[in-house]
Amino acid sequence: MNRIKNTIVEFERVLDESSQKLLKYSEDETGKKPSPDKWSKKEILGHLIDSASNNHQRFVRMQIENNLKLPSYEQEQWVATQHYNTIAWNELIRLWEAYNFHLLHILWNINPAKLSNTATIGANNEATLEFIIEDYVGHLKHHLEQIIVN
């Protein structure tokens, strides 16, 4: 349980530190795509909202059932369908914060006995709930580093 606790503590630290840093970017700055095939800051944050949504299902369902088969996440289509560049940057930040602080609440209250429960997501190999949590936090940090340039 120590490893997962460290992951949750890291998740909380990242959330606490990132919110203020995200606010320093302007509306114009966040909507610009670096190139036609790259996401804007708004689209990256939208992708992180989608990731929170997909992982919310995983975090809850995998505590209820074991050996699940869950759908994959078609990230390009999700981002394109939701038109994140048309949403105000502050609104995206508020949604991202709210969703992730809810996930943090779930993780602080997770049943340790369920961390070894597994799921197969799309065509991927079977993964434990513990792995999915750790992967989520690593994924979040990776994309926040793309947005936040110190």
* pLDDT tens for each residue of 65-85: 999 999 998 999 999 999 999
45, 98 contact by CB (below 8 A): no
Query: Whole-model pTM?
Result: 0.95
H/E element, 119: strand 118-121
* pLDDT tens for each residue of 17-64: 998 999 999 999 999 999 999 999 999 999 999 999 999 999 999 999
Share of the chain above pLDDT 70, in %: 99
> Could you tell me how far CA 93 lies from the centroid of its own chain?
13
Strands 118-121 and 126-128: antiparallel
Torsion, Cα 81 87 90 94, to 10 degrees, reads -40
Over the range 78-108, which residues count as b (16 or more CB within 10 Å of their CB) and which as e?
Answer: bbeeeebbebebeebbebbeebbeebbeebe
Would residue 63 be called left, alpha or beta, if left means φ above 0 and alpha means ψ between -120 and 50 degrees? alpha
Report pLDDT for 150.
Answer: 53
Q: Residue 41: what residue type?
A: K
Question: pLDDT band at residue 2, thresholds of 50, 70 and 90?
Answer: confident
Outline where the chain has alpha helix (H): 2-23, 27-31, 41-64, 75-82, 89-108, 129-147
Q: What are phi and psi of 147, to 5 degrees?
A: -85, -50
